[in-house]
Amino acid sequence: EADIYQTPRYLVIGTGKKITLECSQTMGHDKMYWYQQDPGMELHLIHYSYGVNSTEKGDLSSESTVSRIRTEHFPLTLESARPSHTSQYLCASSQGVAGNQPQHFGDGTRLSIL
Amino acid sequence: GQQVMQIPQYQHVQEGEDFTTYCNSSTTLSNIQWYKQRPGGHPVFLIQLVKSGEVKKQKRLTFQFGEAKKNSSLHITATQTTDVGTYFCAGSNNDMRFGAGTRLTVKP
């Protein structure tokens, strides 16, 4: 099993709050990703990183931001949560900086904004 | 840009029936990967295909990569209730693109 961890697993919070979703991996992977997914549905790439100090926007327009100060850590921040942000957020990592290596996913954070 | 289309979106089968999901790309791919996501779980990597015309098997699962490296399929023989979940293909050139997934349900 891959060593990639996400916290919290579940979060219910009110509108307007600032939220940070944590993701850490212990595999030394360079590339990391954040996806938004409604249960069992399509994966939408919202951010990715090639390595330390690298952050890129994905395909899905998002009001979130990410940072990559350390190789193992890739947190996602929502400055002001809205009900439309209710979803599951999956973090993943892959070896190397090429985009063709298998991705290892965390268990996800299920976010509900009231 | 590169797009990966996957069909069908849903498939409901009786236990013991076969199941196939198809993946098509608008561009030639360097490789294609398949993932399975169980209900309530996260996607888990199953296999990677790299060569034109490649066929790989994992027990009852057969994966194929087309000759032109633009399409792929996953075939499950004699489905079981443990096969339930969403199957994603992911095509790669410089970046990987996931298909929308096929959600499989199996009636006992």
Q: What's the CA gap between B107 and B94, in Å, rounded?
A: 39
- The Cα of B16 is separated from the nearest Cα of chain A by a number of Å equal to 23
Q: Is the pLDDT of residue B98 over 70?
A: yes
Instruction: Provide the pLDDT for residue A2.
Output: 57
A45 contact residues in B (CB cutoff 8 A): 98
The confidence score (pLDDT) of residue B96 equals: 87
> Average pLDDT for residues B3-25, to the nearest whole number?
96
Give the minimum alpha-carbon distance from B78 to chain A in angstroms, rounded to a whole number.
Answer: 23
Contact A100 B31 (CB under 8 A): yes
Buried b / exposed e over B26-45, threshold 16 CB at 10 Å, is: eeebebbbbbbbeeeebbbb
Contact assignment for A103 to B31 by CB distance below 8 Å? no
Residue A99, phi-psi category: left (phi > 0), alpha (psi -120 to 50), beta (remainder): alpha
The model's pLDDT over A83-100, given as tens digits with 9 standing for 90+, comes to 999 999 999 999 987 778
Low-confidence ranges of chain A (pLDDT < 70): 1-2
Give strand pairing partners of B47.
Answer: B34
| Cβ–Cβ gap A100/B98 under 8 Å | no
Provide the residue type at A24 as one letter.
S
**Is beta strand B44-49 parallel, antiparallel or unpaired with respect to B55-58?**
unpaired
B93 — pLDDT class (breaks 50, 70, 90): confident
What pLDDT was estimated at residue A100? 83
Can you give the pLDDT at residue B3?
Answer: 85
Q: What is the pLDDT of residue A39?
A: 81
pLDDT at A92: 97
> For a pLDDT cut of 70, what percent of chain B falls above it?
98
Which chain B residues are Cβ-neighbours of A49 within 8 angstroms?
Answer: none
Measure in Å the smallest separation between the Cα of B100 and chain A Cα atoms. 5
Read off φ and ψ for residue B82, nearest 5 degrees.
Answer: -70, -10
Q: What CA–CA distance (Å, rounded) separates A48 from A5? A: 16
Give CA separation, A10 vs A40, A89, A92, A108, B26, in Å.
17, 10, 17, 9, 37
CB contact under 8 A, B44 and A102: no
Which of A104, A100, A87, A91 minimizes the C-alpha distance to A33?
A91
User: Alpha-carbon distance A78 to A64, whole Å?
Assistant: 5
- Of the residues A33, A43, A46, A56, the best mutation for testing chain B's interface (the one with the most B CB atoms within 10 Å of its CB) is A43
Using a CB-CB cut-off of 8 Å, the residues of chain B touching A43 are 43, 88, 98, 101
Express each pLDDT in B15-61 by its tens digit. 999 999 999 999 999 999 999 999 999 999 999 999 999 999 999 99
What pLDDT, on the 0 to 100 scale, is given for residue A98? 77
Interchain pair B92, A100: CB under 8 A: yes
Q: Do B42 and A90 touch (CB under 8 A)?
A: yes
